[in-house]
Homo-oligomer: A and B are copies of this chain.
Amino acid sequence: MATPATEATTARSVGKTVDPSRFGPAVALSCRECGERYDLGPRYVCEQCFGPLEIAYEFTGVTRESIASGPRSLWRYKDLLPVPADVAEQANLAPGFTKLVPARNLARELGLRSLYVKDDSGNPTHSFKDRVVAVAFAAGRELGFTTFACASTGNLANAVAAAAARAGVRSCVFVPYDLEQGKTVTTAVYGGTLVAVEGNYDDVNRLCSEVAGEEPWGFVNVNLRPYYAEGSKTLGYEIAEQLGWRLPEQVVIPVASGSLLTKVDKAFRELIKLGLVEDTPYRIFGAQATGCAPVANAFKAGHDVVQPVRPQTIAKSLAIGNPADGPYALDVARRTGGAIEDVSDPEIVEGIKLLARTEGIFAETAGGVTVATLRKLLASGQLDPDAETVVLNTGDGLKTLDAVAPTSGPTVTIRPSLSAFREAGLA
């Protein structure tokens, strides 16, 4: 989900005095473009150049041991995040530390020497959004917010509504009014406020930006975006720790806004800088759906600028036509010797089924995108089959059943008798 275009450079704050000691190692907000620094607060756009703000840190005393002694959730990395030291004790869904699955069957099928699936469908609401929402809530509470909001059509809506229920705070989730009932239910069931907006997703996003300028609410991916986005780093930390404190040689990451890809790279660089892993080369690959491939298009054309597109793909959780972090994702892929590739909707479906058939992991469409891209990059020689590779699955197939339903039916239909069973030739 992209940051909605907005005139506002800060959202309305709740008038709480911010205690900087409650943000762990975070010391300031800093503009990604011009470097201008701001005090920690509910800001997200640079007043000087309108660039996006990021968290600036001063890390101290982070060791493998201090991390390993933490909880089995993303809070084991609290000393690398803009959250208070007691974050794990506050009521929260405790996402993260999902499985890094050795994917031997899939590796064999693809001709890869060593492959892992980082399976974020194991999160509480079954997508990686639980991570970013958890960090946004932890920081947002310190900024004084008691209502948390977002615009979303899927995973983010689920994650915000569930996190608010656990935390005992109010949620207000904005969705397009014509969303399928199934997707409304998975957010509404958590009992927060669910606002159906008579318009498309762009209309919903625009309205949220306006509301964020008026109401003292924490919109996780608007005014809390600098904090929110840092949650994605934890995927990178976990991959390294679960490999035994080393970096993989190749990683395949889905690209929507581009933020996840850039944050995994940031996590790897932080771990190197802190001496927690050896400084070994890694290559980062981005995966998009051909029906919404603005970053892949720019990569292949050799452009630095990402031309917006109108999304048309079954991979709805990646369907951001104008990705805010697209240029940064291009930078990472180029700097690390990776690539950004895209795959068609039929290839996505094949990717989902390939992963399910070989590893028993049922991924949502975004996981189909990464697995299909992995296969395509191997076929084109861009991925080294002898290099240790990690592919990300960021969500659960139960949320996107429609993608595989037309091609996933019974093998055979028989009468209820042993003779019918025998005749079917299944033995």
Binary CB contact string for chain A from 174 to 188 against chain B (1 if under 8 A, 0 otherwise):
010100011011101
Among A320-348, those with CB < 8 Å from B are none
**What is the CB-to-nearest-CB distance from A22 to chain B, in angstroms, rounded to a whole number?**
22
A405 touches B125 (CB 8 A): no
**What is the CB-to-nearest-CB distance from A191 to chain B, in angstroms, rounded to a whole number?**
3
**What is the CB-to-nearest-CB distance from A418 to chain B, in angstroms, rounded to a whole number?**
5
A413 to B211, CA, bound (A): 16
Interface size on A, residues (CB 8 A): 76
Stretch binding the partner chain, chosen from A161-169, A264-272, A282-290: A161-169
Cβ contacts A to B, 22 pairs, < 8 Å: A122-B122, A124-B360, A162-B360, A162-B361, A182-B405, A186-B398, A188-B410, A188-B411, A189-B352, A189-B397, A190-B362, A191-B356, A194-B410, A195-B412, A196-B413, A196-B414, A197-B415, A198-B415, A207-B416, A207-B417, A210-B421, A214-B418
Known: A191-B357, A193-B411, A196-B412. 19 other contacts (CB 8 A): A105-B165, A126-B398, A163-B360, A165-B357, A185-B401, A185-B408, A189-B353, A189-B362, A189-B397, A189-B404, A191-B353, A193-B412, A193-B426, A194-B410, A195-B414, A195-B424, A197-B416, A211-B418, A211-B421
Chain B residues with Cβ below 8 Å from A360 are 93, 124-125, 161-166, 190
Instruction: Say which residue of B166, B352, B416 sits within 8 Å of A359 (CB atoms).
Output: B166
| A206 interface residue (CB < 8 Å to B) | yes
Chain B residues with Cβ below 8 Å from A99 are 94
**What is the CB-to-nearest-CB distance from A387 to chain B, in angstroms, rounded to a whole number?**
22
Count of this chain's copies in the oligomeric assembly: 2
Binding site for B on A (CB under 8 A): 72, 91, 93-94, 99, 104-105, 122, 124-126, 161-166, 168, 172, 175, 177, 181-182, 184-186, 188-191, 193-199, 203-204, 206-207, 210-211, 214-215, 352-353, 356-362, 396-399, 401, 404-405, 408-418, 421, 424, 426-427
